[in-house]
A and B are shown apart, each in its own frame.
Chain A
Amino acid sequence: MSNTLGTDTAAGRRPQGAPRAGDADTATSPAPPRAAAHRRGRTRTRLEIAALSAPAIITFLAFVIFPVALAAYYGFYQWKGYGDPTDWVGLNNYRLILTDPAFHDVLWHNGLILVLSLLIQGPLAIALALLLNQRIRGRSTIRVLIFVPYIVSEVIVGTGWSLMLQSNGAVNDLLHRIGLGSLEADWIADPDLAIWTLMAIITWKYIGFAVILMLAGLQSIPDEIFEAAQIDGASYWQIQRRITLPLLGPTIRIWAFLSIIGSLQLFDLVYIIWGQYVSGTAGTSTMAIHMLAQGRNAGNYGYGSAVAVVMFLISLVVALLYQRFVLRRDLRGAVTEGTV
């Protein structure tokens, strides 16, 4: 965020280049000098707008919006993935999805991952961030190290974890060595365990990100508030509960939003560790995996596209509701905070 941007290489330039409070407001007012704009002439300005924005907009429309719209279109057909779709089935794919027990399973998995992610990572990340926010030595080294799992790609951590979690792998060997041999298990294949294994890996992979985010949130709280509370005789826990948590609210809510969207769209880790076929029997399949299995592998692209649309709609509805009911408070705060 801005503090990092500012203190690094371009520090000298920051005063002009950095975003400031109230920027959002300037957006609505006509920004550049009017007199100059007139002189330059409208045609010229329009040309500039077109020339500068066309490449990005065309690329974006062609490779993001168009494919998504196409998915929605294919969702109405019983389509095998080649040629033009001809068999219009209307909402039939969607009816199938709603009654498909396999889809209910993947939806349940996504929901479970979503709730567990919030419940496990949230409190853990806040606790760890509070701990690391104390004045301890080597904090910046710690910050780097806890971020390593996040930066290593899903494929690599997935490959590594699946090797470690095999029934004759390192995790079981380690348990055996430290005298917990009774806990050895078939972490990946056991359907009762697999989802918890997945949760453990997800937590490991993304907790660093959550902690870093919370730390950034904590650092943006002015020290004076804590000092004032201390002078007033508040205890450590009182300060955390009454001051830190509420002020960390916006960060927590944004993190939760990202976590929710990420949970709904989980793909890579499951695909790498469980593959496209066993994830169903192991009980770790997600909507994205189901979409791929039905579309690409079973050749049922119309149905797969409809699954993609359902996934998108669920994300969209969740995002809108979240914005309406959870982030609204932050928006209102933003308007008043802007004057501080």
Chain B
Amino acid sequence: MSATTATSRMSSTTRPKPPAGRRGKRDRPQKWGSPVTYFVALLFVGVCVAPVLFIVLGGFRTNAQITTEPAALPSPWVVGNYLDVLKSTMFWGQFANSLVVAIASTVGIVVLGLMVSFVIARYDFKLKGAMYSLFAAGLMFPMVVAITPLYLVIKDLGLVDNLLGVIIPQIAFGLPVTVIILVPFLRAIPNEIEEAAAIDGTSRLGFFFRMVVPLSLPGVVTVGILGFVGSWNNYILPLYILNSQANHTLPLGVQVFSSQYSTDTAKVLAFTSLAMLPALIFFSVFEKRIVGGLTGAVKG
């Protein structure tokens, strides 16, 4: 609540510097640093990446290899585990569920968030401040706190074991961050543009679709990515809402798979690797924006 409003206010003052100059200065061709620096950096990177590599490489081993020498490299490399997973309809079904849930949640978060942020940023009315505080307060409510009653609400709506039962709450819980990020963007659109549009006979809604949406694109992309990653990784909501295996999303699938095939470690590792691959690919493509979005979200 107010703590978050505080951070958002702060951020708008820490943002102003021209980004290109700053970035350019730091990233220009540089001389090599000291070996100690590289050593520590490599060590750090190694610690971060090694467990993930273990999971990926583990999928290329046999269970016998894993049992006798858990920390060794695959020898020989086997691809059977990966092929088995890739051939299973369960994996692809869960992949599709995750994709549907993530895309629908993202679209919902962006569309609803943009609309309400526009109202908060550009209209002048009594309840404006209350509206902003309401969403800002939402940052204090983790899904875990509300999960049991949330389940009951979903049950009353008949959406248990239905992907919509995951999508709608995810949209709701994604709105606070979205509003906090988008409002400053929309506020920064100069009034002159709106006046010009009004003189040209464009209605406010026309202005919204023709000017606001394109102009706030960087902010929209950021909240979209945050929404997508958050949805893709969400665990507790699918855990409560989705009962049947056909409706599981990948995080749930990983957990169920790993308890069902607990003796087939290699296959579990292959399944887990393939489940994290989409997030990693998505991340490497959008790395700059995700990192930017997170720091932006944190700072305001």
B-to-A contact residues, CB < 8 Å: 1-3, 6-17, 19-20, 22-23, 25-27, 30-33, 37-38, 40-41, 44-45, 47-49, 51-52, 54-55, 58, 67, 69-72, 108, 112-113, 115-116, 118-125, 131, 134-135, 138, 140-142, 144-150, 152-153, 168-169, 171-173, 175-176, 179, 184-185, 187-191, 193-195, 198, 203-205, 208, 214-219, 221-222, 229, 232-233, 235-236, 251-252, 254-255, 258, 265, 268-269, 272, 275-276, 279-280, 283-284, 287-292, 294-296, 298-300
Contact A68 B188 (CB under 8 A): no
Q: Which residue of B lies closest to A33 (CB)?
A: B195
Residues of B contacting A31 in the complex (Cβ-Cβ under 8 angstroms)? 121-124, 187, 191
A52 to B212, CA, bound (A): 13
Contact A316 B116 (CB under 8 A): no
- Per-residue CB proximity of A307-340 to B under 8 Å, as 1/0? 0110110011001101100010011011001100
A-to-B contact residues, CB < 8 Å: 1-11, 13-14, 16-24, 26-27, 30-33, 36-37, 40, 45-46, 48-49, 52-53, 55-57, 59-60, 62-68, 70-71, 74, 81, 128, 131-132, 134-137, 140, 142-149, 151-157, 159-161, 163-164, 168-174, 177, 204, 207-209, 212-213, 216, 219-220, 222-223, 250-251, 254-255, 257-258, 261, 265, 267-268, 272, 288, 291-292, 295-296, 301, 304-305, 308-309, 311-312, 315-316, 319-320, 322-323, 327, 330-331, 333-334, 337-338
Contact B294 A209 (CB under 8 A): yes
Contact A147 B287 (CB under 8 A): yes
Contact among B8, B52, B193 for A149, CB-based, below 8 A: B52
Contact A331 B10 (CB under 8 A): yes
Question: Given A71-B148, A144-B284, A258-B298, do A57 and B9 touch, yes or no (CB 8 Å)?
Answer: no
Contact A64 B30 (CB under 8 A): no
Q: Which residue of A lies closest to B56 (CB)?
A: A160
Contacts A17-B188, A153-B235, A155-B255 aside, 19 further interface pairs with beta carbons under 8 A come to A3-B17, A16-B188, A27-B187, A32-B191, A33-B194, A45-B123, A49-B119, A53-B131, A56-B115, A56-B175, A74-B149, A136-B30, A142-B44, A149-B51, A168-B67, A169-B70, A204-B47, A315-B142, A334-B9
Residues of B contacting A20 in the complex (Cβ-Cβ under 8 angstroms)? 12, 15-16, 188
Q: Which residue of B lies closest to A155 (CB)?
A: B251
28 interchain pairs (CB within 8 A)? A1-B15, A1-B292, A7-B19, A8-B288, A10-B221, A13-B215, A14-B218, A16-B193, A26-B187, A31-B187, A31-B191, A53-B119, A71-B146, A137-B33, A142-B44, A148-B48, A151-B280, A153-B251, A155-B255, A159-B258, A163-B265, A163-B269, A177-B71, A204-B48, A212-B294, A272-B255, A305-B149, A309-B145
Residues of A contacting B179 in the complex (Cβ-Cβ under 8 angstroms)? 56
Contact B141 A13 (CB under 8 A): no
A220 to B289, CA, bound (A): 17
Residues of A contacting B3 in the complex (Cβ-Cβ under 8 angstroms)? 257, 319-320, 322-323, 327
Q: Which residue of A lies closest to B12 (CB)?
A: A23
Contact B16 A21 (CB under 8 A): yes
Question: Given A6-B20, A71-B146, A168-B70, do A16 and B215 touch, yes or no (CB 8 Å)?
Answer: yes
Contact B55 A170 (CB under 8 A): no
Contact among A59, A131, A337 for B37, CB-based, below 8 A: A131
